[in-house]
Structure 1
Amino acid sequence: MKQILYGTRNDAKVKQMKEALNGMDIEIIGLNDIKKKIPEVIEDGKTPLENAKKKAEAYFQEFKIPVFSCDTGLYFEGIKDIDQPGVYVKRVKGRELSDDEMIEYYSKIAKKNGGEIISCYENAICLKIDENTSFEYQGPEISVNKFIISEKPYDKKIKGFPLDSLSKNIMTNKYYLEEKKPDEQENRMKEGVRNFFKESFKHTI
């Protein structure tokens, strides 16, 4: 089984990735499983892919094991570019928000836009196997095309995924957290991630 480091301290994201890759010959570990000092990575890229590459490279150089990192950009429909969160989903005015602060911050944005705002996530992933081998992707197969951020939080929260409390399925107008089955976009993203690793490993391990 191939052990790969997921370059994140977010245990909820590690759990989600393990579920997405379930059944594949891959063992995922997170940064919290590494009993060494974790280097700080300055995420100053202009795109999710630039930040994913920065993290994957930094953690590979530090630990010398296969590593992948992901990054996300959040974009609102009908909002000027200067007001878009983009890659600064969690960082506002140079400060990283807590889960509760994120819910409050994005709830206010939705309120200013009539109570709901159509949004999309653009996701990227970078896998670094060794010094000379890496794979990367940013695109629709692993992203969320359209969903709703509401001003009113759902009465349930998931640690590590604060915006899930505000996010609604644009097709059903229900909060994702109240839907019992994964929606089409979630299934497509999982399949996109699985295909990324399958294609990468065809040429390496």
Structure 2
Amino acid sequence: MKILFATTNQAKVRYYATRLQEKGFDIVTLSDLGITQEVEETGKTPTENAIIKATSYAQQAQIPTIAIDEGVYLNGLSPEQQPGVHVRRVNGRRLNDQEMIEHYLHLVEKYGENGQLTGYFKKGIAVATGNSMTTFENDSPRLFVNRQSEIIDEGYPLASIQIVAPVNKFKSELTREEEAITMDIEQQPIFDFLSQVLEEIRESIETVQKEKSQSD
């Protein structure tokens, strides 16, 4: 059973798709399927945007589809000031990686204390099939600082201004072993959710195929 991981963000592909493949799921990407049409994300929350993307791409690909969207929420900012789902868009303009880093460094300086600003990423996850939609949300605490790593993770530029407390390193500088004891544990609820939903979909498909085979 092929499963579409619907994102053009290569950092998400490297992290999420790779881990799901390690769990034995046959993950394909938009690039693999030659899908180039972009979906307009008009939701007000990460989950709403994930639903929009999962629904649209599942219709195009005709296979089960995963979409993950996220928003940034920073302590000390009013609701109107929050980046929210517009993580990369400021005043209607999409920022490139370096512009995005500079914008958030400014927020740390303006709203943080001692060069640090806490907050969290809210992730919305949606899994769509032809006749079902399942969603999940997960909050991940973050510590942003007023200095930048020399290593920029393309697609995840904010990793270069985040410190991962257990190992006291920039997120963009973590080794695979350090990811395993920090980020993998943090993201485990998401993988537990995806594993359960995808197994249920696989079992459902196998049941339908078995019933069809017996009736032929």
TM-score (norm 2): 0.83
Distance 1:18 1:39 in 2: 20
Distance 2:181 2:120 in 1: 15
Q: Corresponding residue for 2:163?
A: 168
Letter in 2 for 1:197: L
Distance 2:31 2:95 in 1: 20
Q: Corresponding residue for 1:197?
A: 194
Q: Corresponding residue for 2:214?
A: none
Alignment of 1:54-65 (within 5 A): 54-65=52-63
Preserved contact between residue 11 and residue 30 of structure 1 (Cα < 8 Å): no
1:107 to 100, 105, 108: 105
Preserved contact between residue 124 and residue 136 of structure 1 (Cα < 8 Å): yes
Q: Corresponding residue for 2:208?
A: none
Letter in 2 for 1:15: R
1:41 to 35, 39, 42: 39
Q: 1:177 to 1:63 in 2, by over 3 A?
A: closer
1:150 to 134, 145, 152: 145
Q: Corresponding residue for 1:28?
A: 27
Q: Corresponding residue for 1:13?
A: 12
Q: After TM superposition, give the deviation of residue 170 of structure 1 in Å.
A: 4.0
Q: 1:117 to 1:183 in 2, by over 3 A?
A: farther
User: What runs of 5+ residues in structure 1 fail to find an aligned partner?
Assistant: none
Q: Corresponding residue for 1:126?
A: 126
Letter in 2 for 1:191: Q
Q: Corresponding residue for 1:135?
A: 134
| Rg comparison, structure with higher value | 2
Greater share of helix = 2
SS for the counterpart of 1:165 is: helix
Distance 2:84 2:91 in 1: 13
Question: For 1:49-90, what per-residue CA distance to the aligned partner results, in whole angstroms no more than 9, with x for missing partners?
Answer: 000000001111222221110010100112111110011101
SS for the counterpart of 1:72 is: strand
Aligned length: 198
Distance 1:187 1:101 in 2: 28
Q: Corresponding residue for 2:184?
A: 187
Distance 2:67 2:167 in 1: 31
2:172 to 177, 190, 195: 177
Letter in 2 for 1:176: K
Q: Corresponding residue for 1:53?
A: 51
Distance 2:173 2:60 in 1: 41
User: What runs of 5+ residues in structure 2 fail to find an aligned partner?
Assistant: 203-216
